[in-house]
Amino acid sequence: MIKYSAPYARMRGLKGKLIGKDYLESILQASSVQSIATMLSGTVYGEQIQDTADLNSIEHGLKQDLALAYMKILTFMRGRSASFLKVLLGRFELINLKSIIRWFIQGAESKDSVQPFIFSLGRYHLIPVEMALDAADLESFIAIMENTPFARPLEIGYQQYVESASPRNLFLLELALDLDYYERLWQSLEDLGPLDKLNASKLLGIQYDIINLLWMLRFKEYYDFSHEQIFQYVIPHGWKIHGDVLGQLAEADDLKKVVVDLHIEPYEHLLGSAMEVDDSFILGAELEMLRFLHLRCLEIFMKFPLQVALLLAFFIWKEMEIRDIITVLSGKHLGLPQERIRQYMVTL
């Protein structure tokens, strides 16, 4: 436990700076995106969103603050738990990678259109960002990635992208990168101590369950994947959704029915009670599961001693707060009424 004293103290300090439910209620009452930006300027997020009222720039700034929180805590960490958090932080590099790939595909001439939306990770960068942005084309960019953790999935995903029936569809390329990242993250759990691994794997496993359930629902609804394709393109790990259960769900024509029939809790209840949001069951199910995850993080704060699961819970908690802020901003931008915006929020 001693090894977590300093990072835990740093996390508690950062947690104390979250805006919380009352402030979220306040920004929900605000009249415009500009009003919300002004309100946020006096919070922990202010430094990253200053001097802008552009919705995309504000969203990027909010997420950059989350990346900075990772780095501030990592400063106090060493050894195996630090390695795990570095892989967690690597999700921002995955987003950077996707942004650069899309920029190449879109054929934009100036890197000024993508560079402001690259997350700054300091010494934790895994890819040579400047070299990547100066590459002549997508193939040259992939060659530059040769000595990074993304080399193999880029090679596989790019081949699938080239061979796909719709060459401009990046879905398979991005999916290959996602699957590789989530596999590396799960494997990084193996290096943790027994107590760290037990509780962190459960919390991470819930996240993987949610991702897998949502992916499978979308594969069936929007992509018309075969059962074999669905099984190929899901994460083979999780808390309750893995092994034989994953296979049964991949083969199901009605995923919700199988979850209920197999009594897979908590998802039997969460999917069973999910209501359509904007005529979408998938969106309603996503919100129900994210709310469950949010409450699970609260339980970890209340129950567990110093361990890496507490840090993971904090990062999820902060990410959900940022998600809700972005939801309010987007709703205000679209002119939606408060109660309509509230439907899409997780933490309120």
Q: Is 57 a domain residue? A: yes
Give CA–CA dist 337/55, Å, rounded. 18
The tokens for 83 are 């390695």
Q: Are residues 197 and 298 in the same domain?
A: yes
Residue ranges for the chain with pLDDT beneath 50:
none
Q: Are residues 235 and 328 in the same domain?
A: no
Compute the C-alpha angle 184/190/192, nearest 5°. 115
Neighbours of 200 (CB within 10 A): 24
CATH of residue 64: 1.10.132.50
Give the pLDDT score at 168: 58
Q: Is 159 a domain residue? A: no
Q: Are residues 331 and 297 in the same domain?
A: no
Q: Are residues 314 and 281 in the same domain?
A: no
Neighbours of 29 (CB within 10 A): 11
Helix (H) or strand (E) holding 32: none
Q: How many residues does the chain have?
A: 348
The answer to whether residues 138 and 105 touch, using CB atoms and an 8 Å cutoff, is yes
Q: Are residues 280 and 254 in the same domain?
A: yes
The answer to whether residues 234 and 250 touch, using CB atoms and an 8 Å cutoff, is yes
Q: Is 300 a domain residue? A: yes
Beta bridge partners of 277: 280
Give CA–CA dist 251/227, Å, rounded. 5
Compute the C-alpha angle 338/218/236, nearest 5°. 120
Query: How deeply is 100 buried, as exposed, middle or buried, from its count of CB atoms within 10 A (0-12, 13-18, 19+)?
Result: buried
Helix (H) or strand (E) holding 197: helix 194-218
Question: Does residue 336 sit in helix, strand or coil?
Answer: coil
Spatial CA neighbour of 301 closest among 291, 292, 290, 312: 312
Distances (CA, A) of 65 to 14, 144, 244, 338: 11, 28, 39, 26
Q: Are residues 267 and 296 in the same domain?
A: yes
Give the pLDDT score at 2: 56
Q: Hey, what amino acid is at 246?
A: L
Q: Is 205 a domain residue? A: yes
Task: For residue range 116-133, list pLDDT tens digits in order.
Answer: 999 999 999 999 999 999
Give CA–CA dist 287/80, Å, rounded. 33
Q: Which residue matches tokens 């933490």?
A: 347
Say if residue 266 is preceded by a cis peptide, omega within 30 of 0.
yes
Helix (H) or strand (E) holding 90: helix 79-106
Question: Does residue 96 sit in helix, strand or coil?
Answer: helix
Say whether pTM exceeds 0.85: yes
Give CA–CA dist 101/98, Å, rounded. 5
The tokens for 120 are 């700054």
The answer to whether residues 287 and 344 touch, using CB atoms and an 8 Å cutoff, is yes
Q: Is 115 a domain residue? A: no
Q: Are residues 226 and 280 in the same domain?
A: yes
Q: Is 188 a domain residue? A: no
The tokens for 287 are 């919100």
Q: Is 276 a domain residue? A: yes
The structural domain count of the chain equals 2
Q: Are residues 203 and 276 in the same domain?
A: yes
Q: Are residues 323 and 228 in the same domain?
A: no
Residue that finishes a domain, picked among 270, 289, 304: 304
Neighbours of 51 (CB within 10 A): 7
Q: Is 184 a domain residue? A: no
Task: For residue range 147-176, list pLDDT tens digits in order.
Answer: 999 999 999 999 888 887 665 578 889 999
Q: Are residues 291 and 231 in the same domain?
A: yes
Helix intervals (H) in 233-337: 243-251, 255-261, 267-273, 281-303, 308-334
Helix (H) or strand (E) holding 221: none
Q: Are residues 268 and 296 in the same domain?
A: yes
Q: Are residues 312 and 299 in the same domain?
A: no
The answer to whether residues 82 and 90 touch, using CB atoms and an 8 Å cutoff, is no
**Residue-range definition of the domain harbouring residue 233:** 193-304
Task: Provide φ and ψ at 276, rounded to 5°.
Answer: -65, 140
